[in-house]
Amino acid sequence: MTATLELDGSNAGGQFLRTALALAVVENRSIRLENVRGDRPTPGLANQHLAVLETMTEICDADVTGAELRSETIEFDPDLDRETGVGAPERLAGGQYTVDIGTAGSATLLFDALLPLSTILESALSVTVTGGTDVAWSPPLDYFRYVKLPLLRRFGIAAACEVDERGFYPAGGGRTTLYLAPSRLDRIGLVERGSFEGVRLYSTESASLADRDVAMRQAEGVLERLHRAPSLEFRERCETTALSPSPGSALVIRIDHGSGIAGFTALGERGKPAERVGEDAADAANRFLDGSAPVDRHMADQLLVFLALTGGRVRVPAVTDHLETGCALLESFGVRVDLDREDERTTVAVTSSLGTDD
């Protein structure tokens, strides 16, 4: 039996926890994580992180200790051999699950932790989450649906997402479902950007803001600010009024190019003009257009777990703290990661992925 992997989250946040849990399940390896979210002002498990841990535990029938709010040490053992028998390929049964985060904790971050499990599923899995769909410090729902999932489908992930109700801060109360099917992931290659193909715009307002035309005004802010190359035309503009327990709004810009997809987001805030929300997202998109990376900075972090499964290369727009701690975590699981720096451009290269002896 493989020894428990000891991990230290003192210099990391919630993404470190989510990635560690996902890799533990895929590798069928027990982990002990100390100093959970150690670099946050309030360390330990918050509601959203506890919901991830409890969901993983239920899906895998894992043994777990430390599954309580504010816990700073957890032990997690998926022990999939109990289902398949020692020596058999570790596969994960699907099924239908429901999760209530209980706050405006992010549903999309919970989904992020589950996506890698598609590579070991033996049947379809669906998880319906009640919580925040468009909240600070997490990908808005339309980024997850229209940027991340379409990009991952290019490399073999079979996943879809449906929304019943939006959940903005502070009430949350949104309801959305992730559907996963057994998937075989291809090696990831995202190094050269390729020619631009088009822009898609998704602007959402809660029904309580409809009389102020917030969704339309956010979109207009993008149109006024976004720099467009001659080949970069708008292909879709979607303005949505959604039911939600709390007033709120969200804006997502998607840019398609020859090799991939990039996304840029902004959320409405009390006292912030809707046009400014669109301008903020457009400013982030303009910085991307001025660079050379094929993915946005947030996607760069989120692709690390999939690079660990398949190997590959991704050029990133910046080496963030999230990226560095993510690379260190992959190396803890035995993945060989190189940061190749060339003329102010950095490529994350995974030359030895999980399950290989390269």
* pLDDT (0 to 100) of residue 259: 85
In the 8-state DSSP scheme, what is residue 186?
A: P
CATH number of 5-189+296-352: 3.65.10.20
Locate 184 and state its tokens. 């075989």
Task: Please indicate whether residue 342 or residue 261 has the higher confidence score (pLDDT).
Answer: 261
DSSP characters over 245-287: SS--EEEEEEEEESS-EEEEEEE--TT--HHHHHHHHHHHHHH
Q: Which residue has the tokens 């996943």?
A: 159
* pLDDT (0 to 100) of residue 345: 78
Q: Which residue has the tokens 């050029």?
A: 315
* Known catalytic membership, residue 322: yes
Query: Structure pTM?
Result: 0.94
Q: Are strands 196-206 and 234-242 parallel, antiparallel or unpaired?
A: parallel
> What whole-number distance in Å separates Cα of residue 66 and Cα of residue 298?
29
Count H helices, E strands: the chain?
11, 16
Query: How many residues in total does the chain contain?
Result: 358
**256 phi, psi to nearest 5 deg:** -95, 140
* pLDDT (0 to 100) of residue 87: 41
**76 phi, psi to nearest 5 deg:** -140, 125
pLDDT digits (tens, 9 = 90+) for 42-100: 999 999 999 999 999 999 999 999 999 999 999 999 988 765 544 444 789 999 999 99
> What whole-number distance in Å separates Cα of residue 294 and Cα of residue 288?
9
CA distance to 60, 138, 215, per residue, from 132 (Å)? 24, 10, 19
CATH number of 194-290: 3.30.360.20
> What whole-number distance in Å separates Cα of residue 213 and Cα of residue 14?
35
Catalytic residue among 49, 257, 298, 322: 322
Q: Which residue has the tokens 């600070």?
A: 136
Mean pLDDT calculated for residue range 232-248: 94
List of residues 6+ apart from 329 with CB closer than 8 A: 7, 12, 16, 19, 20, 23, 304
Locate 175 and state its tokens. 């309801």
Mean pLDDT calculated for residue range 218-223: 96
Mean pLDDT calculated for residue range 257-275: 95
Angle, helix 107-114 to helix 14-27, in steps of 10 degrees: 30
- Annotated domain spans of the chain: 5-189+296-352, 194-290
Same fold for the domain at 5-189+296-352 and the one at 194-290? Answer: no
> What whole-number distance in Å separates Cα of residue 160 and Cα of residue 331?
30
Q: Which residue has the tokens 């039996």?
A: 1
**Type of residue found at 117:** L
* pLDDT (0 to 100) of residue 2: 74
pLDDT digits (tens, 9 = 90+) for 124-172: 999 999 999 999 999 999 999 999 999 999 999 999 999 999 999 999 9
Q: Which residue has the tokens 């801060």?
A: 169
**Type of residue found at 24:** A
pLDDT digits (tens, 9 = 90+) for 305-329: 999 999 999 999 988 889 999 999 9
Mean pLDDT calculated for residue range 10-34: 96
Do residues 262 and 300 lie in contact, with contact meaning Cβ atoms separated by under 8 Å? no
The residue among 115, 142, 130 whose CA lies nearest residue 19 is: 115
In the 8-state DSSP scheme, what is residue 134?
A: B
**102 phi, psi to nearest 5 deg:** 90, -10
